[in-house]
A = this chain, B = another copy of it.
Amino acid sequence: MEVTRTLARFIVGHRYADVPEKVRHEAARAFLNWVGCAVGASRHETVGRALAALSEFSGPREATVLGRGDKLDIMLAALMNGTTSHTFDYDDTHLKTVIHPSGPVASAILALAERKPLKGEDFLHAFILGVETECRIGNAVYPSHYDIGWHITATAGVFGAAAAAGRLLGLNEQQMVWALGIAATQSSGLREMFGSMAKPMHPGNAARNGLLAALLASKNFTSAEQGIEGRRGFANVLATERNTAAITERLGQTWEIALNTYKPYACGIVEHPAIDGCIQLRNEHKLKAEDIESIALRVHPLVLELTGRRTPQTGLEGKFSVYHSCAVAIIHGAAGEAQYSDDAVRDPRVVALRDRVTAAVEQGVHEDQVHVAIQLKSGKVLERFVEHAAGSLDRPMSDSDLEAKFRGLADGILSTTEADRLIRLCWDVGRLKDVGEVARASVPAAVMKRDEVRRDKEKRDSNSKGNQC
């Protein structure tokens, strides 16, 4: 029943050759989606405020804030990339636990990859092992842990970050036990924060603290031996029911990352079937807003409970309005971050169509289902029953869907050429000679240029100061 030690032994001893190709590909998909989310939110004010507060305390500026010119020490970079990648709430989801698995893990180890060149296969392997660690720990405590009020992406994520970073730092079994213990004792993050900037910071904190745990353990800083399963360890203290045996059962035989999903739409998952149905009918019938008399949805009760806002005023409120979401689905054929800007929500064409959408709860319609009926001005009615929403495990986003999502996120930040190059690097991540290239390629040339000019100026200034001395 030595959960922490058995898990540690697995993390340090597993061989990449034993990771199935399908799992490796899923990891690349998750990584691509993560980079896109981080680049996409890199201009958000959440990031601006955090950088304003913390940048001046940075140590050696070895790691990149994705999508920006800023460089920070590896722990602060892990914090920032974990934060940006969750800012739009558009990152990946391990549906069994509602963990967003990539943020904590990828943020920690991409920072390491910029410190010292890292081979793609080592990186991808560590990423897969980190996701395995956090999701299995999540499985052991879900749902009681989440129901109490813990934001499981943060609380479990810190273990994933520690495991992946520790693997790359070459920890031995005992050191990995300590890294997991130091992670356990930093596990934190409250659901109360939902709706504030502190929420996206959670995976950032998990990344930073997990990295800290691995660094400390690498110098033999000790922790308890049973940080996860001990009497006063993580599983007993942070959950009212737990099954810690699930953490080690069939380790290396099943892979949690294979259960990962990606959001096609930049809003709460309960609205996704309705958006999906509208986009399907729009594309098949080349619908325009002006052709439409009304749209009637028959939905699962949670849709109205969580996203029933009739007259949203801001982009953020738009995310909680299934009416707005259906309107942009028809008008733009998409519901990406761009469709949830303040401007998009106030666009008169969108408002006019939104007001013609109705929704009613219907018994028997499941959470990832919807019935859509579009009444045309011509008198014709188009109907669609969506059995599984796009992005669910039953109808996963294709690789090209993920690329399109990435391009939408990078739009306005990277040029088309830059986005294409970054997408290629993400697909190739497992074969790169130096994974740090991904981080460097995420910075638009325009920003690099601006930073070069600034650095040159700083150099000149400091030289001229030097001359005065």
Q: Which residues of chain A (51-79) have a CB below 8 Å from chain B?
A: 52-54, 56-60, 73-75
Please, which residues of chain B bring their CB within 8 A of the CB of A149? 231-233, 236-237
On whether A73 and B57 interact (CB within 8 A), knowing A188-B185, A190-B227, A224-B198, the answer reads yes
The stretch of A86-94, A212-220, A332-340 in contact with B is A212-220
Chain A residues 14-38 with CB under 8 Å of chain B are none
What is the 8 Å Cβ interface bit string for chain A, positions 312-337, against chain B (1 contact, 0 not)?
00000000000000000000000000
Does the CB pair B224–A196 fall under 8 Å?
yes
B residues within 8 A CB of A54?
212, 215-216
CA distance in complex: A46, B219 (Å): 10
A222 touches B205 (CB 8 A): no
Task: Tell me if A188 and B190 are in contact (CB < 8 A).
Answer: no
Residue of B at shortest CB range from A75? B57
Given contacts A185-B198, A218-B53, contact A232 B190 (CB under 8 A): yes
Q: Which of B181, B185, B234 contacts A202 (CB 8 A)?
A: B185
Which residues of chain B are near A196, meaning CB under 8 Å? 178, 181, 222-224
Which of B56, B185, B216, B231 contacts A189, CB < 8 Å?
B185
Copies in the complex: 2
Interface membership of A184, Cβ < 8 A: yes
A187 to B188, Cβ gap below 8 A?
yes
| Residues from chain B with Cβ under 8 Å of A74 in the complex | 57
In contact, B59 and A73 (Cβ under 8 angstroms): yes
A53 CB contact (under 8 Å) in B50, B198, B201, B216: B216
A-B contact pairs, 29 of them (CB 8 A): A49-B219, A49-B220, A50-B221, A52-B219, A53-B216, A53-B218, A53-B221, A56-B59, A57-B60, A57-B74, A57-B75, A59-B73, A148-B237, A149-B231, A149-B232, A149-B233, A151-B185, A154-B185, A178-B196, A181-B193, A185-B202, A186-B188, A190-B227, A190-B233, A192-B230, A195-B224, A196-B222, A198-B222, A201-B221
Chain A contact residues, CB within 8 Å of chain B: 46, 49-50, 52-54, 56-60, 73-75, 148-151, 154, 178, 181-182, 184-198, 201-202, 205, 212, 215-216, 218-224, 226-227, 230-234, 236-237
- Quick one: closest B residue to A205, CB to CB? B186
**A148–B151 CA distance with the chains assembled, in angstroms:** 19
Chain B residue nearest to A211 (CB atoms) is B57
Residue numbers in B under 8 Å from A198 (CB-CB): 178, 181-182, 185, 221-224
Chain B residues with CB under 8 Å of A46's CB are: 221
Supposing A53-B221, A220-B49 touch, asked if A227 and B192 sit within 8 A by C-beta, the answer is yes
- Residues of chain B within 8 A (CB-CB) of A185 are 151, 154, 188-190, 192-193, 198, 201-202, 205
Q: Which of B58, B187, B205 contacts A59 (CB 8 A)?
A: B58
Distance of A315 Cα from B56 Cα, bound (Å):
42
With most chain B CB atoms within 10 A of its CB, the pick from A230, A231, A232 is A232
Besides A178-B196, A188-B188, A201-B221, 16 more A-B contacts (Cβ < 8 Å) are: A49-B219, A53-B218, A54-B215, A56-B59, A56-B60, A57-B60, A57-B215, A59-B59, A148-B237, A185-B189, A185-B192, A192-B234, A193-B227, A195-B224, A196-B222, A201-B216
